[in-house]
Amino acid sequence: MKDTKSRMNFRVATLVIMSILALSLTIAVDAHMPGAKPLPDFELTPIVINDGETKMEITIEEVGKYHGDICVCGCCAFRATQLGISQIWEDEVPARDDIKIISRLPTPGSKDCFQYITGTGHGLETNTKGEYKMILSDGTVVTNMTKKNLKKLSKHASIDYFRFDVCRISTGECFEVTVKEQVFTDGYFELRKKVKFGIPENATSEEKALFKSDWETIRERFLTSPDWQLFDGVEEPEEENDVSGGAIFFSILVIGSFLLVSLVYRKRS
Amino acid sequence: MAEKNNFAMICIAILGLVTVAFGLADILVSAVGDGTGLSILEIPGDMFRGGWGGFIVLFAGLFYLSGCKNVAEVHNASKVAMGSVLIWIMAGTDIFAMITESIPGGEDGPWFNSLSGFLGTYAPPYAPAIFLLPFSLVVVYYILKQERTK
Amino acid sequence: MKLSPDERWNLIDSIADQVVTYGKYRHTLKDAIGELTVKPMTGIPIAIAVLYGFWSVFGSFAGTLCTDGFFVKLFDGYWLPWLQVVFPGEGSWLYSILIDAGGMTNGEFILSDNCFEAFGVLTSGLFVAIGVVLPAIVIFYLMLTLLEDIGYMPRLAVLIDTVLHRIGLHGYAIVPTILSLGCNVPAVTATRILETRKQRFIMMTLLAIFIPCGAQLGIMEEVIPDLIGYVLLYLVIGYFIFGFILNKIVPGRSPEILIDVPPYQKPMMANVRRKLWMRVSSFFKVAVPFVLLGCVVVNVLYLAGFIQWLGDILAPVFVGWFGVPKETAGPLVAAFLRKDLAVAQLSVIEMTQYQMLSAVVLVSIYFPCVATFAMMLKEGWKELIGSVAVLAVVVFLYGGIIHLIGKLIGVA
């Protein structure tokens, strides 16, 4: 009898463990992209901040390690912070406790990235801490930042969710970073809804494959494209004119034309 | 005289081969759809300059090759001259496009371009026809000189 | 004084001795180059290169330098904002017709920020006429005149003679065809170069339907530069297909011609100047009043709700058969007055690339503009009625075929 009971307990325990594993696996699927291609070649400069007396460089790899993956939302949050800091502090190095980030994007990847940069994340040992808030477009302040809740909140994510305010607490200056619509592939958000949430119906295997490839494309864009291609309000830097090269060609052109014309007229006269 | 003709034949044949190669490169690159270049040389990737223009450069090369054998003979000389005319059309339109682009100051800028902007428009890279232009001029000069001595 | 035959021959001989020089004919380089341009094997690549040069210079001068470089800045940056401020009665009928038709958002009148969208007589009307059409026409006629005076056009006529015979025309039909790329009005007059009524009817019908005028090309270059090649491709294909059909069904003769090919020569600048001035000024006498009138009529029709009504009535044909939004009804009405204005109107309607392509082709093949219509009437009312009948069939069929092609390749 005792044997049967202990066998039953073992079975229940196995079932519970299996369920927990399965659940954690679905969360992992939600945050990451199983079977995604390896990262493309990219060069992203680190975000440099002062953590108290310590100057530190935060790289995208560190953010990825903290989150568990270098995902679309993590890359986007990293690039947005980098842009916001460069716009407000310009060449200065910001103090971590002077940085405030307000995000409208309720996803684990962006949350982990912002928390890592501001030092507000779980398990981070920092000298100082900045501020990080998640306020949705309708004004709802998100305090429950569990993966489950974020998943629920991001169900209807669209391009409007990809807006972030990077602020300098000491002066009150803020810069709003808005992601350009063309960064995302056509129909990406509809596809995401289908694949991740089965809305309005479950995705087919072709749609899943398309979503994976779109996801990789967008991640690559966030890792490799310049700011002006990713965010609104950033002007394309003017190409530096090769004045000397142009001057040489222009001189050849003028002298050549002059010689040609004088040659023709001399022959005629 | 025969030696001189042989030398002219070799030069024009080489020019023809290079021109054909450039024409083919133009067509192939525009078929792939993305322009490419090597330092100061640019192979245009669009259908207009690369595709349509590529055919013209290719034909210019074929004109050179078909006329190079006995350039002293008037029909062959005319083919070689026509090859040069095709190169002039290509290079001329490229240079004309540079000139028209270099004068205005741009959408948000002043009415006229700055000096650096003006000169910058003429900066490399250049399309193959621009590199072929001086050679095509020399070839025509040679043919005209030969025609006058007849 | 009466001369006997012998005396007459003696007189002829003495005159000939004085004015005729005898010698051995030597084939010159110029002659050999002339031959190359008429032989198909060598002439076709040369014609392709000449067309490339023509088109490239046209785009660089009219598009890059004049319109984009200076006129857009002048009209959008200075002229339009100044008129919007100094002209009283914002939102009124008169203001909409003369300055800016604008748009209503949440009951508020919003001013346009560029001359393509304003549609006022003094804004869009002048911008289209001076800022877009003038440079396009000047450079087009300059190059055409140079080609004529150099002596290339007769060679092109010889070269293309065989092809044009397939559609019932002959080599000289290239003259009205190319003139038509400048303006259809002088091109209709130039159809008199063709000998028979059949040829003139085919030519008039084809150029009224399939040849876009310089003004239209200028606007296309400005608003749909990426699609212009495809639009022209559709028009060229249509020109030959419907020309072939017309040749089969229209009764009459298509005789052969003998073309006198002059030697190549250096053009005389005085001649070029005179020709250019004559062509550009006569174009402007015809075109500018129609562009301005077009703006007035289209604005009045819009304000009176006629365009909306027409769009609603024709919606099944536009959406179902042609595959374009019903809003394109307005530009099609405007096209009767000026096709260039109609293309400008199309550019502000929201549609896919293929719909834009179909709509521009439709506007191009749709009814000839009223000025061309008047010229065709002068040539004979029977021809005009015939052309209009052919046109109606062509628009309906070709519009449907383009839509079908788009469906088959999955872009419509």
| Range(s) of the domain holding residue B120 | 2-149
Q: What is the pLDDT of residues A146-165, one digit of tens each?
A: 888 888 888 888 888 999 99
Residue B2 has what pLDDT?
66
Q: What is the pLDDT of residues B69-113, one digit of tens each?
A: 888 889 999 999 999 999 999 999 999 999 999 999 887 788 999
Residues B119/A250, Cβ–Cβ less than 8 Å:
yes
Do the Cβ atoms of B63 and C70 come within 8 Å?
no
Q: What is the pLDDT of residues C218-265, one digit of tens each?
A: 777 777 777 788 888 888 898 999 899 999 988 888 888 887 888 888
Distance CA B120, CA C221 (A): 25
**Average of per-residue pLDDT across C189-201:** 85
* Lowest-confidence segment of B20-24, C162-166, C337-341 by average pLDDT: C337-341
Q: What is the pLDDT of residues A76-98, one digit of tens each?
A: 999 999 999 999 998 889 999 99
What mean pLDDT value characterizes chain A? 83
pLDDT-derived band at A249 (thresholds 50, 70, 90) equals very high
Residue A25 has what pLDDT?
40
* Lowest-confidence segment of B98-107, C22-31, C190-199, C284-293 by average pLDDT: C284-293
Q: What is the pLDDT of residues B130-150, one digit of tens each?
A: 999 999 999 998 988 888 876
Residue A16 has pLDDT above 60, yes or no: no
Q: What percent of chain C has pLDDT over 90?
A: 19
User: Residue C337: which residues within 8 A CB-CB, separation 6 or more?
Assistant: C290, C293, C294, C297, C298, C369, C370
Say if B119 is an interface residue toward chain A (CB within 8 Å). Answer: yes
Residue A24 has pLDDT above 50, yes or no: no
* Lowest-confidence segment of A47-61, A202-216, C336-350 by average pLDDT: C336-350
The count of structural domains within chain C is 1
Do the Cβ atoms of B121 and A249 come within 8 Å?
no
User: Residue A84: which residues within 8 A CB-CB, separation 6 or more?
Assistant: A101, A164, A165, A166, A175, A177
Residue C185 has what pLDDT?
73
pLDDT-derived band at C331 (thresholds 50, 70, 90) equals confident
Chain B residues inside the 8 Å CB shell of A241:
116-117, 119-120, 123
Neighbours of chain B (3+ CB pairs under 8 A): A, C
What mean pLDDT value characterizes chain C? 84
Say if A124 is an interface residue toward chain B (CB within 8 Å). Answer: no
Query: In this predicted model, which residue has the larger pLDDT, A258 or C106?
Result: A258
pLDDT-derived band at C337 (thresholds 50, 70, 90) equals low
Which of C29, C32, C49 is nearest residue B89 as measured by Cβ atoms? C49
Q: Which of A238, A250, A258, A266 would you mutate first to test chain B, the one with the most B CBs within 10 A? A: A250
What mean pLDDT value characterizes chain B? 89
| Range(s) of the domain holding residue C337 | 32-253+266-408
β-bridge mates for residue C360, sequence order: none
Do the Cβ atoms of B93 and C56 come within 8 Å?
yes
pLDDT-derived band at C299 (thresholds 50, 70, 90) equals confident
For residue C267, is the peptide bond before it cis, meaning its omega torsion is within 30 degrees of 0? Answer: no
Do the Cβ atoms of A253 and B122 come within 8 Å?
yes
Do the Cβ atoms of C60 and B101 come within 8 Å?
yes
**Average of per-residue pLDDT across C22-37:** 86
Chain A residues inside the 8 Å CB shell of B97:
none
**Average of per-residue pLDDT across C152-178:** 88
pLDDT-derived band at C216 (thresholds 50, 70, 90) equals confident
Say if B149 is an interface residue toward chain A (CB within 8 Å). Answer: no
The count of structural domains within chain B is 1
Q: Which of C31, C36, C228 would you mutate first to test chain B, the one with the most B CBs within 10 A? A: C36
Residue A231 has pLDDT above 60, yes or no: yes
Say if C46 is an interface residue toward chain B (CB within 8 Å). Answer: yes
Q: With residue C386 as reference, give the H or E element that holds it.
A: helix C381-408
CA distance B63 to chain A (A): 24
Query: In this predicted model, which residue has the larger pLDDT, C339 or B10?
Result: B10
Residue A127 has pLDDT above 50, yes or no: yes
Do the Cβ atoms of B78 and C49 come within 8 Å?
no
Q: Which of B107, B122, B133, B138 would you mutate first to test chain A, the one with the most A CBs within 10 A? A: B122
**Average of per-residue pLDDT across B6-19:** 92
Query: In this predicted model, which residue has the larger pLDDT, A179 or C354?
Result: A179
**Average of per-residue pLDDT across C275-285:** 85
Chain C residues inside the 8 Å CB shell of B77:
29, 32
Q: Is residue C9 part of a domain?
A: no
Say if C53 is an interface residue toward chain B (CB within 8 Å). Answer: yes
Residue C386 has pLDDT above 70, yes or no: yes
Do the Cβ atoms of B93 and C57 come within 8 Å?
yes
Residue C105 has pLDDT above 60, yes or no: no
> Do A and C touch (≥3 CB pairs < 8 Å)?
no
Q: Is residue C116 part of a domain?
A: yes
Neighbours of chain A (3+ CB pairs under 8 A): B
Residue C390 has pLDDT above 90, yes or no: no
Q: What is the pLDDT of residues C311-322, one digit of tens each?
A: 788 888 888 888
Which of C27, C48, C56 is nearest residue B74 as measured by Cβ atoms? C27
SS3 of chain B: the string is CHHHHHHHHHHHHHHHHHHHHHHHHHHHHHHHCCCEEECCEEECCCHHHHHHHHHHHHHHHHHHHHHCCCCCCHHHHHHHHHHHHHHHHHHHHHHHHHHHHHCECCCCCCCECCHHHHHHHCCCCECHHHHHHHHHHHHHHHHHHHHHHC
Residue C187 has what pLDDT?
81
pLDDT-derived band at C178 (thresholds 50, 70, 90) equals confident
Among chain B residues, CA nearest to A253: B95
Identify the top-confidence range among C118-122, C291-295, C304-308, C329-333: C118-122
Q: How many CB atoms lie under 10 A from the CB of residue C16? A: 10
- Tokens representing A194? 């289908």
Q: How many CB atoms lie under 10 A from the CB of residue A32? A: 17
Residue A212 has pLDDT above 90, yes or no: no
Residue A241 has pLDDT above 80, yes or no: no
For residue A200, is the peptide bond before it cis, meaning its omega torsion is within 30 degrees of 0? Answer: yes
Say if B82 is an interface residue toward chain A (CB within 8 Å). Answer: no
